[in-house]
Every structure is written in C-alpha cells, then in structure tokens.
Structure 1
Amino acid sequence: MRLADTITVTIAGEAIELRPSLACAIRLERRPGSFQQLTRDIMDGNLTAAVEVIQDHTDLDFLPNRILEQLDTLKAPLLRYVMACAGVDPDDAPKAAPKGKPAKSVPFRDHLQDLYKKATGWLGWSPEVALDATPAEIVLAYEGRLDMLKAIYGGGKDQPTDDRPLEEKFRSVFNTYGTVKEAA
C-alpha cells in the first residue's frame, strides 16, 4: 500500500494537493451511491462529483466554473483520489485476494468505520489525528502494531514458540529502536 502518495491537480494556475484523509472518505461515502456512484460520475465527467472531491482542499472562488474548464484532465487524478479514500492501491490489486478463497464483501461504510476503530482503539490516536490520516496510513500503522504485539507475545499458527520471559521479549523489541532503560 502506498504511503504519502501525493495527488496534485492544477486549477486556474493553482496547484491543489488532494489528501485522501479518512474524514474526506467518510464524507464522500455518505454521498448517494457511495464510492461506486462517485467513480461512475467522475468517469462520466460529472461536474458536481469533481467539485465534491476538490472542495475540501481549496478555497478558490468560483470553483465549479474553474473545474469545468478542465474537467477531462481531472478524471485520472480524481479517480486515484477516490481509490485512495477507499483504501485501494491499484498496484496491490493483483496480490490483494488470496487464491482459492473469495474475499468477503464489506460495505465501504463498515470498512471506514473499522479503520476509525483501529486508529482510535488499537493505535490510541485522537479522533482528530485518526480523521486526518489516510486509509493507507491507518492500515500500515495497524499492521505495525500487530507486528509489535506478535514479536512481544508471539502469535500465528506458524510461529515458533518463544519461551523467553516477557521482560526479555520487550527488551529485544525495544532494543531494535535504540531504547535504553535508565537506572533509577
């Protein structure tokens, strides 16, 4: 999954960075038809859809008029943005679904709520930080937390049993980060 992938569009000579934050994804998901309809609308050159995507990222006056002038050139970056809001990386698509077992379909609303739960619950981020993060950032941070917990407590079917005391497991994990325990 891409991290910090910048999506920039130029409108009326102004470069606008489109950051696919969780808050923007939730707002766009609430649109009638969710991401599926939004994707269709962008591909059809729908001005309203383009404005809805861009409006949170700029304060340009007369935004619809300015977007209309270059609607066709905005399709590709807007589609990349919607995919990033949905947590989809087109480069990961071939390896996303495991062979032999179809993936369970989850509504985008549930997927986005799950990301929020992971960010605020598992990762301990404030609601503001969670909503400002991109889905890719949340997923990677969550995977990192799981890796840390597995390194400390063990886990997984194929994991060899680690009989070391818990204190030694913590020490080995935190030593990789250069953490030093100070004597009191």
Structure 2
Amino acid sequence: MLGADGIFVELAGEAYELRPSLRATMRLLRRHQLFGLIAAVEGFNITIIMDMLREAGIKPALLLAEIATVGLGKVRNRLTGPLAEFALAIAGIDPDDTTPIKPVAGKPITPTEYHTQLFEIATGWLGWTAAEAWNATPAEIIAAQNGHVAYLKMTGVLVPVEGAKEPDIYTAEQLKEIEEGGLDPAFDRDGLAALKAKL
C-alpha cells in the first residue's frame, strides 16, 4: 500500500528496510517464484532468505553473524514476520487492506508479465528512467499512473469518447461478398479520396 510504513528487520543492532522495489521483486520471483519465497520464510530457508536480503540491499553475511551471536531460534522469531510481509508485498498483497478483491476481466497474466508491464508503464508512459522504474515499488508505479491519467483527464488531454459504439460485426454472407468484391461497406472511400486530393 502506498505510504504504508516500511518493512524493517533488525540485524547487528541496526534496522534495515526490506523494500520491494520492482528490480528486487522481478529477480526474486524469477529465481524462486512466489510460493517458493513464502515457503522459504515459513521454513526459514537460510539460502533463500539471504537472497531476499541481498535483493533488498542488505548484506547477507549480517544474517549469519546474527544467528551466530543470538541463535537461530531468536533470529527466526524476530525475522519471520517482516520477511513474510516482504514476500506478500512482492506479490502485491497488503495484509492490512480489508477491501474485497474484485474479479478482473480478461486473460490472467503471470507475475513476470505483470511486473514487465509496470516497467513499461514507468519508462514508456510516465517517462521515468530505467533506474527510477527499477527502484520504485509496484504500488508507487500504479499510483503514479493513476495520477497521470487523472491529470490528463483534468486538463482535457484525455477525453472519454462519448457515444462510441462497438465495431460492426459482419455476417458470413457479407464477409464473403467483401472478400469476393474487395469492397468493405464500412470503409470511408470519400475520406480516402479527399486525402489523395490533398497529396
């Protein structure tokens, strides 16, 4: 959720933020998949947890040093909650959000496809640099896109088309006639003739 408190872990007496940036999210999902990350947190898989810390910009050696100092049980108890929250953030889930999930129409996409679309939105639509896109969280990119769309609507740049209708659907007979004669009744021949005259 945008503006939510950060996710922090304490290692060697210092607090470090687990930030689900787009780069960290895509890399972790590509290597471990979402269920792999959740299972790693639940089973406290040191190798995958070290990878999660590394992608969040935290030295993995700190985890090993902490375990050596205070013991595995204490470290596990202290880190499981924040790591689980980090894994959920990577999945785009806010555990504090009680809003019911609405079904979305269309073909389902993979997490990799979803995060690739977010990168395209950030760099293509919003004009961010690649570095800015990689460092932003998915929630930040979505909020920026929503704000950009709202701004375009407010300034009149983006205007919904009123009275837009669905395209004509031809019958099988009409399609055969178009194919044989090469004439589509919906094609604007007068507009084409006017354009040719201007050229």
Compute the TM-score of the two structures, normalised by the length of structure 1: 0.73
Q: Which runs of 4+ in 1 moved over 4 A?
A: 101-104
Instruction: State the distance in 2 between where 1:14 and 1:73 align.
Output: 13
Range with bigger deviation, 65-74 or 44-53: 65-74
Aligned length: 155
Name the structure 2 match of 1:90: 95
| Mean Cα deviation higher: 141-150 or 51-60 | 51-60
* Structure 1: segments with no counterpart, 5+ residues: 158-184
Taking the aligned partners of 1:154 and 1:91, their CA distance within structure 2 comes to: 35
What's the counterpart of residue 138 of structure 2? 135
| Alignment partner, residue 81 of structure 1 | 86
CA distance in 1, matches of 2:124, 2:91: 20
**Cα offset for 1:104?**
5.2
Matches of 1:91 and 1:64, distance apart in 2: 31
Q: What are the Cα deviations for residues 100-122 of structure 1, in whole angstroms up to 9, with x where unaligned?
A: x6785321111110110111011
Q: Is the 8 A contact 2:44 2:80 kept in 1?
A: yes
Unaligned runs of 5+ in 2: 163-199
The answer to whether the aligner puts 1:114 opposite 2:113 as a matched pair is no
Q: Aligned Cα RMSD in Å? A: 2.5
Measure, in 2, the Cα distance between the counterparts of 1:46 and 1:27.
Answer: 17
In 2, Cα distance between the equivalents of 1:82 and 1:104?
Answer: 24
Give the 5 Å matches for 1:15-164: 15-32=15-32, 34-56=33-55, 57-59=57-59, 61=61, 63-67=63-67, 68=72, 70-92=75-97, 94-98=99-103, 105-151=108-154, 152=156, 153-155=158-160
Distance 2:106 2:10 in 1: 37
Amino acid at match of 1:127: A
CA distance in 1, matches of 2:21, 2:28: 11
Radius of gyration: which is bigger? 2
CA shift in 2, pair 1:139/1:28, >3 Å: same
User: 1:15 is paired with a residue of what secondary structure?
Assistant: strand
